[in-house]
Structure 1
């Protein structure tokens, strides 16, 4: 397992993260096996959100590992808030953020979060109010560091203007089959669909600002439309290429999908949402690989992208 330093923190994190969105699909013993597998493979970073399973995923997690101080000190715990899924809106009010964190801590059976992320941008956000919430959480010791998820550069700039703490994370959708962070930069000034800037240069922005990117849905295409791995109907050339490279290295296609992301010099963390311990192990093999530049581009082109 490779580890990276999260800029502006004291955190040394695995470049793979165990995502806990689907823990409700498992029994508590099955969840324990999955979490233990992740830890045995070297993963020390665990991602949550208050809406995952309506909070039940956080409860299952703490129950499964029998959360206690000895276990807690081995983990980096991150959670997200801001989505009010029951009513279909986002809420970055101070009251909601504070209340959300209190609920998260109770469900995870811990006194503090290492990192809190704002889950999706709230157009009605008042940044001064967010800043007040963050400062209260920081000074009380409930949250050490802060970040965002699915935010563009100017949304981050607006928040950072008022927030004393440096925003250290931006969690974004990224996979071989979902590459808007890369596409427009490669085909700049070309008259084709790939050249459309859909992400406001967020990859370059985060690198300039020392914000660590976390890639969610690393095996998905579209917005939860399914995995591209093994989908020979939609991605025949991509699967052929991935399988050939996987055979060369003696790993699975899952490992190659991970290695393609971690090969990028931005030190992107990969959020694994799998509930299968064996797939978790396969993914971890990819964390230690280093694809050649030629292989990286070969995979990118096989996904249907242009390299002019």
Structure 2
């Protein structure tokens, strides 16, 4: 198989099936400096994740206003041996409002290079395993992006390139200029966000039509953000929620009891049952919930069980 068609778990053969998302690290979305407690939390999260076989850590330069990367970088500085055990990815291209303009997305050469340099500095590393472009920039010039990525790879600052929230047409356009293959696409995929499945069975859900199939055909690893639906099916208060959401939460609990695993495991196993080899990105900072999520690897849902959850979550039977 050509390198272009290898999924990320073969490019990075030790990559775990679950990804730990670092958006909750760094002490919150505020201007308080990173504290010792914030760094201690990073150590706890890394240790818990590694104990559960989770070794891929997902960042973005904007998470907690750069503090997630700062706190993680301080932990790596204190324990440099961790770098040999983990795979690091980070995202760039979202810019908050400033004196130059409103909130915007920026795929310019200057911004991507600036972002990578600062990501590396905050994380205290010399090379990033994968850089993801965070949200599509309507002003993207594919040739400019390609030249920038080629320069970053040649200098050893990044290994691989991925994207986030891109549809098939945007990926095709970008890939047409790139010499390096896109290795992953991070999308919102969950039991409560079903458009990625609906487009395959109903005629009116078309904004991401073909995206899943394109990624599968080209070995682009699908990563699922928002995969736990903010606890909607794993214990959140459901007062005021629609009947089909409550029914789905009850079904998740029933299957968790049947398989003797956590409810989180059922929700994640539902995603992982899809043949696209989806990597769920979990973001909890609670060690017990990290362990609960890791139980997803203990089971494979039956074909009929997968469809029971799908039908329940969509609120009515398939056409």
TM-score of the aligned structures, taking structure 1 as reference length: 0.91
1:60 is displaced (CA, Å) by 0.7
Alignment of 1:212-223 (within 5 A): 212-220=221-229
Q: Which residue of 2 aligns with 1:14?
A: 16
Instruction: Say which SS state the counterpart of residue 50 (structure 1) adopts.
Output: coil
Residues in 1 aligned to 2:78 and 2:302: alpha-carbon distance in whole angstroms: 41
1:105 is displaced (CA, Å) by 0.2
Residues in 2 aligned to 1:245 and 1:62: alpha-carbon distance in whole angstroms: 39
Give the aligned CA root-mean-square deviation in angstroms. 1.8
Q: Which residue of 2 aligns with 1:248?
A: 258
Residue 202 to residue 67, structure 1, CA distance change in 2 (3 Å): farther
CA displacement 1:218-262 (0-9 Å, x = unmatched): 1127xxxx7343343322100110000000011111111111111
Moved over 6 A (4+): none
Does 2:227 match 1:227? no
The 8 Å contact of residues 21 and 52 in structure 1, kept in 2 or not, is answered as yes
Alignment of 1:89-128 (within 5 A): 89-128=104-143
Residues in 2 aligned to 1:24 and 1:135: alpha-carbon distance in whole angstroms: 31
Residues in 1 aligned to 2:316 and 2:228: alpha-carbon distance in whole angstroms: 17
Residues in 2 aligned to 1:65 and 1:247: alpha-carbon distance in whole angstroms: 39
Tell me the number of residue pairs that the alignment of Structure 1 and Structure 2 aligns. Answer: 295
Alignment of 1:121-200 (within 5 A): 121-187=136-202, 189=203, 195-200=204-209
The 8 Å contact of residues 61 and 108 in structure 1, kept in 2 or not, is answered as yes
1:204 is displaced (CA, Å) by 1.0
Residues in 2 aligned to 1:104 and 1:265: alpha-carbon distance in whole angstroms: 33
Residues in 1 aligned to 2:104 and 2:316: alpha-carbon distance in whole angstroms: 34
Residue 278 to residue 247, structure 1, CA distance change in 2 (3 Å): same
Instruction: Say which SS state the counterpart of residue 162 (structure 1) adopts.
Output: coil
Instruction: Say which SS state the counterpart of residue 46 (structure 2) adopts.
Output: helix
**Which has the higher mean CA deviation after the structures are superposed, 245-254 or 57-66?**
57-66
1:179 is displaced (CA, Å) by 1.2
1:288 is displaced (CA, Å) by 3.1
Q: Which residue of 1 aligns with 2:212?
A: 203
Residue 123 to residue 261, structure 1, CA distance change in 2 (3 Å): same
Instruction: Say which SS state the counterpart of residue 282 (structure 1) adopts.
Output: helix
The 8 Å contact of residues 16 and 45 in structure 1, kept in 2 or not, is answered as yes
Instruction: Say which SS state the counterpart of residue 261 (structure 2) adopts.
Output: coil
TM-score of the aligned structures, taking structure 2 as reference length: 0.88
Residues in 2 aligned to 1:115 and 1:89: alpha-carbon distance in whole angstroms: 22
1:8 is displaced (CA, Å) by 7.0
Residues in 1 aligned to 2:69 and 2:21: alpha-carbon distance in whole angstroms: 11
